Amino acid sequence: MDFTIGEETRLMLELMERFVREEIIPLETAFLTKSFSEIEPEVDKLRVKVRQMGLWGPAQPREYGGMGLPLTDFALVSEVLGQSPLGHYVFGCHAPDAGNIEILAEYGTPEQKKRWLEPLVAGEIRSCFSMTEVELPGSNPVMMDTTAVKDGDHYVINGQKWYTTSADGAAFAIVMAVTNPEAPPHRRASMIIVPTDTPGFDLVRNIAVMGHAGDGWFSHAEILYHSCRVPQSNLLGPEGEGFRIAQERLGPGRIHHTMRWLGVCRRALDLLCKRAVTRPIAPGQVLADREIIQAWIAESAAEIEAARALTLQTAWKIEHQGWKEVRQEISMIKFVVANVMQRVVDRALQVFGGLGMTDDTILAFFYRHERAARIYDGADEVHKLSLARRILKPYRARAEELKEGNRVFR
């Protein structure tokens, strides 16, 4: 596996790093203290600058106006942009649009691509992905109550969804709904495009997460679909293939997430070190003089590098072997990197003390909103169990053979 960074990629990353530090991070105070709608004009100005620099849509297809970077290159980009909660949005490679673009590019009809994909890549509209349900476990997505029943040339959708990220102000949703209830569990659901101005699409509320409901792109909505009627031509991919398409989306999407989390780690460790060498604790002494702080710094740096190496290796394998061959590694990076991030952010917050609990730094935001990393896209426990089952499978197949003699331990 060759992780050598080409000169063009290196220069691009340096340019993005400088832009994040000089243009995006200074906007964070306003982001933390105002609504998203209030700061959106300033954010849009930065997006214009990114377009002028030729850095818009790093992960998006070239034929639709993006940069079309391969997955390993975009992983490095995601780490840089992840240092700020606004990074990916400013560069036009933010969730959930990035994943929806992948789905539309792969499975959209020419009409769907013209109406939804092209303006989505261009940043002219936003989208959302509506899958998680209120009363059913997100850890078992085959359990789904939302239905899409055929009526003439239409689907009629009924159900309740929540944690539909960025629904507030989105032009359309990609909805997972049961279209084939008699099929095997993983063949029951389909993905359907639902314009948000469709009668029966009811955005009930933006859900408060750790006390912050948000608005616009930075929000998570509860949505009721009640007799929501859309043409059957809004179906994405084959009927009953919703879960398979979702799995294809989640593989690369995990790289996007985990490298963004490593960007969070980099930022948190940087803040921790700056605080440690400047915070006095006694005459002539600063926090960095304490061995416990030094141990936290060393542990954080080592954990970040180990998680980064595992993630980049996984990205390379997905790119060259396909996501199906890398399912074990995809499970690994999800819980490994999420937990590294939680520990690093927690250590940084501890070093900042009372200041870390305020919104005078970005750390409290990271602590509030990134804790969910161990829950969404599959809880830690689900990924660990899935990984363990795959590892044990060949051993279980040889269990009787292994019982013979001392070969068990050889």
pLDDT tens digits, 64-90: 999 999 999 999 999 999 999 999 999
pLDDT at 5 over 90: no
- For residue 129, the model assigns a pLDDT of 96
- For residue 327, the model assigns a pLDDT of 87
For 115-132, give the secondary structure using H, E and C: HHHHHHHCCCCCEEEECC
CB 69 within 8 A of CB 77: yes
Interval 54-68: pLDDT, tens: 999 999 999 999 999
Interval 339-360: pLDDT, tens: 999 999 999 999 999 999 999 9
Phi, psi angles (nearest 5°) of residue 154: -125, 165
DSSP 3-state of 172: strand
- For residue 36, the model assigns a pLDDT of 95
Give the CB-side neighbour count of residue 17, counting CA atoms within 13 A.
Answer: 11
- Measured CA to CA, the distance from residue 96 to residue 6 in angstroms comes to 29
Does the domain at 7-108 match CATH 1.10.540.10? Answer given as yes
pLDDT band at 408 (very low <50, low <70, confident <90, very high): low
* Radius of gyration over every alpha carbon of the chain, rounded to an integer in angstroms: 23
User: For the chain, what is the mean pLDDT?
Assistant: 93
Q: What percent of the chain has pLDDT over 90?
A: 83
CB 24 within 8 A of CB 89: no
Ranges of each domain in the chain? 7-108, 127-236, 243-397
Per-residue pLDDT, averaged over 182-201, amounts to 96
Interval 251-281: pLDDT, tens: 778 888 999 999 999 999 999 999 999 999 9
Interval 115-149: pLDDT, tens: 999 999 999 999 999 999 988 776 677 789 999 99
Per-residue pLDDT, averaged over 32-61, amounts to 96
Higher pLDDT, 140 or 105: 105
User: What is the distance, to the nearest Å, from the Cα of residue 336 to the centroid of all Cα atoms in its chain?
Assistant: 15
- For residue 3, the model assigns a pLDDT of 65
Task: Please state the CATH superfamily assignment of the domain spanning residues 127-236 in this structure.
Answer: Butyryl-CoA Dehydrogenase, subunit A, domain 2 (2.40.110.10)
Interval 194-219: pLDDT, tens: 999 999 999 999 999 988 899 999 99
CB 59 within 8 A of CB 100: no
Interval 219-230: pLDDT, tens: 999 999 999 999
Q: What percent of the chain has pLDDT over 70?
A: 97
- pTM for the full predicted model: 0.93
The CATH architecture one would assign to domain 243-397 is Up-down Bundle (1.20)
